[in-house]
Amino acid sequence: MNNFIFQNSTKVYFGQGCVKEYLACLTKHAHTILLAYGGGSIKRNGVYDEIMDVFYSAGKQVVEFSGIMANPTYAKVQEGARLARACGADMILAVGGGSVMDCCKAVSLAARYDGDVWDDFWARPGVIDFEPLPLGVIVTVAGTGSECNGGAVITNEEKKIKTGRDYPALNARFALMDPTYTYSVPQGQMVSGSFDILSHIMETYFSAPDEDNVSDDIMEALMRSVIRNLRAAIQNPRDYTARSNLMWDATMAENRLIKMGKQCDFECHNMEHQLGAYTNCNHGCGLAVLHPVYYQHIYQEGLPKFMRFAQNVWGIPREGRSDQELALAGISALAAFIREIGLPTTLKELGADKAQLRQIADSCGISQGSYKKMTHDEIYKIFCECYE
């Protein structure tokens, strides 16, 4: 294992009924709460009423910040910060999936910062030497794992840049995770979110070191869990075991635990973020298109790990295969799984404009953790291979 420092300050309350049981106590010191959510599904599925019943009983003042989009924009962050300051909010409660949580982390920072948080904290790494507005989260969609880290991916529409930063100071104070809240999520969203979980794990797994280490062992178990439980959840969306396992898989993938001692390769996320900045495509769908083709470009440089992936994650036996054949069989199994769960396999399906692929490729960040040093020319080649 390489040297590391581990920190996670978010306290998790997991299981059916956790919101009713713990929310009042967790918000007892807050008088005015900024209640943040997305398009309003929480008002249709009963989650909103359950939360408001708790707040009304406790005499809280609630100010709503709604309409947070799938790829939250810097303009939306600024809107939330203005609202938080105007109402004197002393806590933000983010209710939703990764987009809502990410947006609210940025709002918690911007609400207590006089400068430009994009320029000072997203365009480049910054130093948070003040206390952001306290944040709590209620998770309704499993996928990003944003509930247990300080990461926030924000899109600057004007600059056409989508990027993320992870600041431990932005970790939520608490995360309430009731798997039954995910039952009403449309199947397409559930599937794409689950693939995002798998992507997070793979991007850490396929990186140095490759010597025996605890992180790789945990990741293989997590990948098998995502695959197994996603199949079960597709068959029965109200399978509590499957939905609870996927919810915790997402958290484990991004609570920093599996990244300990690993170099990490986030090139697929870098590429998808810029595709999203130009096309506003679904994040999990974009990753599903990119991963198999990207891995075909780098597998030879990481051959032992790709062989291990084939055998330990997909259960593919050696059976006389060469090293290269075994590695490629694992990548083929991943591609087949993507088709099985119904995710797109081409950029054309995502609405990408082929004429813009060069521009998008040139705007992508280069991951330092990749087995193979990427260039913008090779990223463009990957995009072209993914197009149709």
- DSSP H or E segment with residue 204: helix 187-205
The per-residue pLDDT for 5 is 84
Q: How confident is the model at residue 354 (pLDDT cuts 50, 70, 90)?
A: very high
pLDDT tens digits, 248-274 = 999 999 999 999 999 999 999 999 999
Which tens digits make up the pLDDT trace of 295-348? 999 999 999 999 999 999 999 999 999 999 999 999 999 999 999 999 999 999
> Judging by beta carbons within 10 Å of its beta carbon (0-12, 13-18, 19+), is residue 158 exposed, middle or buried?
exposed
pLDDT (tens digit per residue) in 15-73: 999 999 999 999 999 999 999 999 989 999 999 999 999 999 999 999 999 999 989 99
Whole-model pTM?
A: 0.94
Tally of CA atoms within 13 A in the half-sphere of 274 that contains its CB: 21
User: Phi and psi for 167 in degrees, rounded to 5?
Assistant: -115, 115
- Nearest-angstrom CA–CA distance, 333 and 308: 13
Q: How does DSSP assign 210-279, residue by residue? A: -SS-HHHHHHHHHHHHHHHHHHHHHH-TT-HHHHHHHHHHHHHHHSSGGGTT-----HHHHHHHHHHHHH
Which one, of 377, 379, 375, lies nearest residue 347 by Cα? 379
Angle between helices 303-312 and 214-235 (to 10 degrees): 40
**What percent of the chain stands above pLDDT 70?**
100
How far is the C-alpha of 109 from the C-alpha of 140, rounded, in Å? 23
Whether the CB-CB separation of 301 and 372 falls below 8 Å is answered with: yes
Mind listing the domains of the chain with CATH numbers? 11-182 (3.40.50.1970), 187-387 (1.20.1090.10)
At residue 2 the predicted structure's pLDDT band, cuts being 50, 70 and 90, is confident
**How do residues 294-308 score in pLDDT, each as one tens digit?**
999 999 999 999 999
**pLDDT tens-digit series, residues 219-239:** 999 999 999 999 999 999 999
Rounded Cα distance, 282 and 228, in Å: 23
| CB-based contact 203:266 (threshold 8 Å) | yes
pLDDT of residue 158: 93
293-302 burial by CB neighbour count: b if 16+ within 10 A, else e?
bbbbbbbeeb
pLDDT on residue 40? 87
270, 367 Cβ separation under 8 angstroms? yes
Q: Write the DSSP assignment of 124-142 as a string of letters.
A: S-----S-PPPEEEEE-S-
Alpha helices in 4-155 (DSSP H): 18-26, 41-44, 47-58, 74-87, 98-110, 117
Q: 43 φ, ψ to 5°?
A: -85, -20
